[in-house]
Amino acid sequence: MNKDIKINKNKPAPEVAGALDGMLTDGTSQITVIIPESANLKNYDLLTIHWASLSEESIGKSYPLPITKEKAGKSYSYIISAEEIKKINSTSAKIWYSVQQAGSIQTQISDILTLIIPSSLAIDKRIATLKFIQALESGESETVKMNFILVQNIRMQHR
Q: Inter-axis angle of helices 141-157 and 125-138, to 10 degrees?
A: 150
* Cut 0.85: pTM above it: no
3-class DSSP assignment, residue 156: helix
Domain ranges of the chain: 6-121, 124-159
| pLDDT the model gives residue 53 | 86
Q: What is the CATH number of domain 6-121?
A: 2.60.40.10
Residue 5: is its pLDDT beyond 70?
A: no
pLDDT tens, residue by residue, 24-83: 877 778 899 999 999 999 999 999 999 988 877 778 888 899 999 999 999 999 999 888
| Dist CA 106 CA 4 (whole Å) | 9
Per the model's pLDDT, the better-predicted residue between 144 and 104 turns out to be: 104
Per the model's pLDDT, the better-predicted residue between 95 and 7 turns out to be: 95
| Dist CA 55 CA 98 (whole Å) | 20
3-class DSSP assignment, residue 131: helix
pLDDT tens, residue by residue, 84-121: 888 887 888 899 999 998 888 889 999 999 998 877 66
Q: What is the DSSP-derived secondary structure letter of residue 63?
A: P
